[in-house]
Structure 1
Amino acid sequence: MAERFKLIPAVHLFFVQGESVLLLRRANTGYEDGNYSVVAGHIDGEEAVIQAAIREAREEAGVEIQPDDVQVVGVMHRLSNEERVDFFVEIKRWTGQVRNMEPDKCDDLSWFAWSDLPDNLVPYIKRALNNYRAGQWFDSVGFDGEIW
C-alpha cells in the first residue's frame, strides 16, 4: 500500500501590542536569512496548534502564554519547495519580558508599527500579516504557477 501524502504543519505567532507587531530577523538558518518573520515553528506530532504556540512562545521569545490567550486568526495552504499548512495565531497577552531566546537563529527581535513594517519580510509572512489586517482567515498560495 502506498504511503499517504503528508503536509508539514507550522504555527506562526502574531504578538500584537497596541499598533505594533513583533518581528524577528532570521539568521544562520539557511532559509530566508536576513529577512523578517514572526515567532514560529513546526508543530510536533501529537501536538495541538495551541500547544505548539505556547511552546514556541517560550522557546523563541521567553514568554508564557495561556491557552485562552491564543486566538487562531488564519490558515494558509502554500506550495513552494514543499507543500505546507500554516496556522497563524494572535497573541495579545503574555507573562514575562519578550527577549531573543535563539540568538544563533535570530539577530533582531523588535516591535514594528503596522504602518512601518520592514520591506524585507518573508513573502508569505507579509501576505499573512496583510490577510490578518484585512480579516481574511484563509489563503491558498503557490498553486497553478501563482507568484506571491
Structure 2
Amino acid sequence: MIAAVWILLLRGGDVLLSRRRGTGYRDGWLSLVGGHLEDDESVRGGAVREAREEVGVVVPPEAVDVVSVVHRRADGSRVDFFTACRNWAGTPVNAEPAKCSELLWSPVRALPADVVPYVRTAVANYRAGVWFESLDWPEPQPPPPGG
C-alpha cells in the first residue's frame, strides 16, 4: 500500500495549490503541497518535510492537524492523509519547478475546476468535518442468508 501526505496551507479563507508538472500523474492539474511518505516518518513529519521541500516554508510539527484520510483504489491501494496548517514561517515559493509549474491561492470554498478529483473530495470533507472517505472500492456485500 502506498501512503501519501498532503498539507492544506491555509491563509484566511484561502488554500495554497500547486499545478503539477512532469510527474506522470495529472500533470497540468492543481493539487496540494505533498507527496509520498518516507518509510521512517510520521504523517506530521511528512507534511513538515513536503512543505519545506516544495514551497520553502517552515512548519512546526505541532501546527499540523490531521483533518482527513482518503483510502482509494488507484493502481492498487493508496492511503492519503490530509493535514492542515495555518501557522508557518516564510513565504511560499515554487521550490520544485520541475514538478510544479505554478503556485496559487484559491478560496477553500470555491476550488478551481481542475483540482485533482480525490484532492477536491478531501478538501470538501475537511470543510464538512468528514474525517474518512473510501473512493473507487466496490461496496461490500452482506453475507448470504444463513451464511
TM-score, reference length from structure 2: 0.91
Which of 12, 18, 21 aligns to 1:27? It is 21
Partner of 1:59: 53
The one-letter code of the counterpart of 2:138 is D
SS of residue matched to 2:54: helix
Q: Which amino acid aligns with 1:63?
A: V
Aligned to 1:3: none
Asked if the contact 2:58–2:89 (Cα under 8 Å) also holds between the matched residues in 1, the reply is: yes
Pairing 1:88–2:78 present: no
Measured in 1, the distance between the counterparts of 2:108 and 2:25 equals: 24
- Aligned mates of 1:65, 1:115 — CA distance in 2: 23
1:82 shift after superposition = 2.1
Q: Identity, % of aligned pairs? A: 46
What amino acid is the match of 1:131? N
Give, in angstroms, the shift of residue 114 of structure 1: 2.5
Residue type of the alignment partner of 1:61: V
Report the CA distance between 1:111 and its aligned residue.
0.4
Which consecutive aligned stretches of 4+ in structure 1 deviate over 6 angstroms post-superposition? none
Could you tell me which runs of 5 or more consecutive residues in structure 1 were left unpaired when the two chains were aligned: 1-6
Equivalence for 1:111: 105
Task: Tell whether the 8 Å contact from 2:71 to 2:135 is kept in structure 1 after alignment.
Answer: yes
Partners of 1:46 and 1:21 in 2: how far apart?
28
Alignment of 1:1-148 (within 5 A): 7-144=1-138
Q: Which letter maps to 1:55? A: R
Matches of 2:108 and 2:44, distance apart in 1: 24
2:82 partner SS: strand
Counterpart-to-counterpart distance in 2, 1:99 and 1:120: 21
Q: Say how many residue pairs are matched.
A: 139
Counterpart AA for 2:119: I
Shift of residue 115 of structure 1?
3.8
Q: How far 1:28 sits from its partner (Å)?
A: 1.4
Point out where structure 2 has 5 or more consecutive residues left out of the alignment.
140-147
Q: How far apart are residue 29 of structure 1 and its match? A: 1.2
TM-score normalised per structure 1: 0.91
Q: Which has the larger radius of gyration?
A: 2
